[in-house]
A and B are shown apart, each in its own frame.
Chain A
Amino acid sequence: MKVAVVVQRYGQAINGGAELHARYIAEHLARHGEVEVLTTCAADYVTWRNELEPGVGQVNGVPVRRFRVKHERDPRLFAERSDRVFEQPHSLGDELDWLDAEGPTSPALVDYVAKHAAEYEYCLFFSYRYYHAYYGTRAAGGRAILVPTAERDLTVGLSIFQPLFRRVRAVMYNSPEERAMIHAVSGNQNVPGVVVGIGSDVPNSPQAGRFRQKYHIRGPFAVYVGRIDQNKGCNELFEFFQGYLNDPAGKLSLVLIGHSLLPIPEHPRIRHLGFLDDTDKFDAMAAADLLIMPSYYESLSMVTLETWALGRPVLANGKCDVLKGQCIRSNAGLYYETYGEFVGALEAIEQNRWLAGTLGRSGRQFFRDHYDWPVIERKYLEMFERLKTGAAATVHPLPGWFERRRRDLPAAREVLTRLPKGPAGIRS
């Protein structure tokens, strides 16, 4: 079995969600067959600047073939086109222009896929929203399997992606919410799909005491792990947690781990430790009383799963369907949508040891049942087996010049508002 993993960025030091997801999957599938990674020379997801050398290399024993990006992203142009397709009625040509502005525009990568797709049994495309996935799936034809990593954001409302979801051979979803959303937006129920997600190499015995000693942290604390960014809901987290700090009964501190794009509130009980390596990160999770995940948009929160794997409860943003759904399915985390719920849930976990312990145990069991690596690998291999018998969908050519310029497509926001909301199974 030879599989190509096609992803926008790839590398040991690249820790974006989808990129890390792709690396983990590539490394684990490499145990069952031949895997080659096809990616770009970019390392920065904002500029897509060519920073890595093109050609073939290796990352953790997996061969990686890199292709140059044709042009960097122009933020101003990208913003203009985003506004047009997200907020106004527009044409198919507008959406294709937006895709080109978004990047990473690498025709060389797409050409390579078109020419060599037959050498691979399957091509796994990660992140539906980028140039490589849209054109690459067309080039790979019946060998294309999509790992969409789709979130409930405006991009999913663009019309160019609806045929993409329908034409791939299979879709590996991250969560039931993601599957329901893509079904609703594209009607691809006939395309084989399975909710897989991703595992994590969580250490068996993290050293909580070592972490506390190293960073001089005493007392109970909640931890946030990830990029400290407005898009991740960190502003709301700071606002809510500062309100919680006014409650004399609350004893929790907040420890932030990750690069910060926001000013951190100055308070003795809010500590920012910056970016930590995996060892310290897992030690911090083990030492924490709980993890807070304030993000509005997640297709699958790996850090949430890792926290559950370590037997710690999670407090998630209930406005994110995926996180809320995971909490409900696992019975391993509470969720909030308002300040009152935030404080109430935080106090519940803080003051009720039984509740915290039970949530943690449920999380550990949930991780073992659904996100342990043997489970993930088995789901991928079973899908490959299943696809051997099925027929590939037809790839239709792109519409002509006049068709592309017909301004009859609704704004992406309009499409998004029509999609059902809420966790899978209890959607509105």
Chain B
Amino acid sequence: MADFNVRSDSVNVEHVMEQIRARISEKRGVDYTEQQIRELAAVKLERFLDPRGVRSDLLDQFRKTQPAYEPPELPNFAFEDETLFESHRGPIRWIRKLLLPILKLFFNPNPLIQALHIQSRLNAMNAERDAKLESARRAMDQLYYELVHNLVIETTRLGIEVKNLKMRVESVSSRLEFNERRARALERVVVYKSSGADESHVQPASAPATPQPFTPPPSRSMPLQPAPSQPAPSTGAAPAIVQGQPAAGTGQGVPGEGPGQRSRRRRRRRGRRSGATAAEIMGPAGSPAPGPTAGGPARTDSTDPVDHDAEHDGAEPHGVEPRGAEPHGAEHHRTEHHEAGDAHAVAAEAAAQRADRASHPSEPPADSGPVAPTDPGPAPTADSGQGGSDPDSQ
């Protein structure tokens, strides 16, 4: 909480709490209550992620809980013109009919009969209409229920998807940032290489070799070619390598160090690098063995990044890039964000080893011998016994 904007003799607690709440909201996106969080935590995520869950049997269960609608048996009556005078006894019915004219002397029952008849029909019609309306309402209720249920599920699923996308955006942006830093670092290397002073400073290392023009970066497959076929000292790649990596060295081993150990370390280092970009860019510059020229080995060994790797093994992948050319954060990113690149590098390494074994069946496996990849092109391809030219093998 070092970023509180309260810097006075007194403090406003409410203001501090607002800041705290704002930070919580930033972290969570939405300031859920504890109750909401508990409810969310209690729900199984799979239920929302499973697309089949959208059409669940919830509606069926809803129908089961609600019995089918049956219109109630409303009381009604049938009222016809004879209803008033009906009787199960025939004589009585006959007497009533006989006395009907006398009754009509007192009042006229016909309007009453008619009204009651109409009322009876109205009752029946209303009951029928109510039953229809109720049935329709229940059907609509089920549809609404299903609709709301599906909407809730879809909304939840979309929420989760948005969260995932946000995380992916964060991941991609961090990768982008790392790659930008890496690109800047490499640009500095190129600038450094092209300066005349540096060339003159580095030339002694490549002096014994045949002078060669600056070799453009090799293709992606270049670093995958193994070293055993490389006649190191006189290759044209050596000056380019030394020019390209004046300070960081080129991955030569420490004198007295076993070749297998060195190759393992190199593989580890490659493994830590980012994916294709790192393999592509760094491979040619760092991998080819520059060849221990007469005056070279001692100096290159002193700046060998392998030494740094040995110190920081498993912690920070220094090495191929010049130290200080990249902020510390970039190293962290390198180890953190490039698992895919790691896999790619390992696969490439394995391919390189297979190619090596295929071209030099008599050579020992990569693990048991020097693995300095070679630079193709003007370099001699004959197997000149690189073991003698490799300081590691001496």
A358, CB-defined interface residue at 8 Å: yes
B20, CB-defined interface residue at 8 Å: yes
B4, CB-defined interface residue at 8 Å: yes
Query: Contact at B34–A331, with CB atoms within 8 Å?
Result: no
- Produce 1/0 per residue, B278-310, CB < 8 A to A: 000000000000000000000000000000000
Q: How far apart are A347's CB and chain B's nearest CB, in angstroms?
A: 5
Which of B2, B10, B13, B24 is within 8 Å of A340, CB to CB?
B24
Complex CA gap A29/B235 in Å reads 102
Query: Contact at B28–A348, with CB atoms within 8 Å?
Result: no
Query: Contact at B4–A344, with CB atoms within 8 Å?
Result: no
B358, CB-defined interface residue at 8 Å: no
* Contacts from A to B (Cβ < 8 Å): 327-328, 330-335, 338-341, 344-345, 347-352, 354-355, 358-359, 362
Query: Which residues on the A side are within 8 Å of B37 (C-beta)?
Result: 339
Say whether chain A's binding surface is mostly helix, strand, loop, or mixed.
Answer: helix
Complex CA gap A351/B13 in Å reads 16
Complex CA gap A333/B31 in Å reads 22
Query: Contact at A334–B1, with CB atoms within 8 Å?
Result: no
Decide: A344 near B10, CB < 8 A? Known: A338-B34, A339-B34, A352-B2.
no
8 contacts between A and B (CB under 8 A): A330-B13, A332-B13, A334-B16, A335-B17, A339-B37, A340-B28, A341-B20, A341-B24
Query: Contact at B24–A355, with CB atoms within 8 Å?
Result: no
Complex CA gap A341/B23 in Å reads 10
Look across to chain B and name the residue whose beta carbon is closest to the beta carbon of A365.
B10
Query: Contact at A334–B17, with CB atoms within 8 Å?
Result: yes
Smallest CB-CB A-B distances: 5 pairs: A348-B1, A344-B20, A340-B24, A358-B11, A352-B1
B129, CB-defined interface residue at 8 Å: no
Query: Which residues on the A side are within 8 Å of B24 (C-beta)?
Result: 338, 340-341, 344
B6, CB-defined interface residue at 8 Å: yes
Query: Contact at A345–B20, with CB atoms within 8 Å?
Result: yes
Q: How far apart are A320's CB and chain B's nearest CB, in angstroms?
A: 15
B14, CB-defined interface residue at 8 Å: yes
B121, CB-defined interface residue at 8 Å: no
Query: Which residues on the B side are within 8 Å of A344 (C-beta)?
Result: 1, 20-21, 23-24
Query: Contact at B11–A331, with CB atoms within 8 Å?
Result: yes
Query: Contact at B17–A354, with CB atoms within 8 Å?
Result: no
Complex CA gap A242/B354 in Å reads 53
Query: Contact at B17–A341, with CB atoms within 8 Å?
Result: yes
Complex CA gap A350/B17 in Å reads 15
Complex CA gap A341/B22 in Å reads 10
Query: Contact at B17–A345, with CB atoms within 8 Å?
Result: yes
Query: Contact at A348–B7, with CB atoms within 8 Å?
Result: no
Query: Which residues on the A side are within 8 Å of B12 (C-beta)?
Result: 331
Query: Contact at B17–A362, with CB atoms within 8 Å?
Result: no
**Besides the known contacts A334-B16, A351-B2, 20 further A-B residue pairs in the complex with CB atoms under 8 A apart:** A327-B13, A330-B13, A331-B10, A333-B13, A334-B13, A335-B13, A340-B24, A340-B27, A341-B21, A344-B23, A345-B20, A347-B1, A348-B1, A348-B4, A348-B16, A352-B2, A355-B1, A355-B4, A358-B11, A362-B10
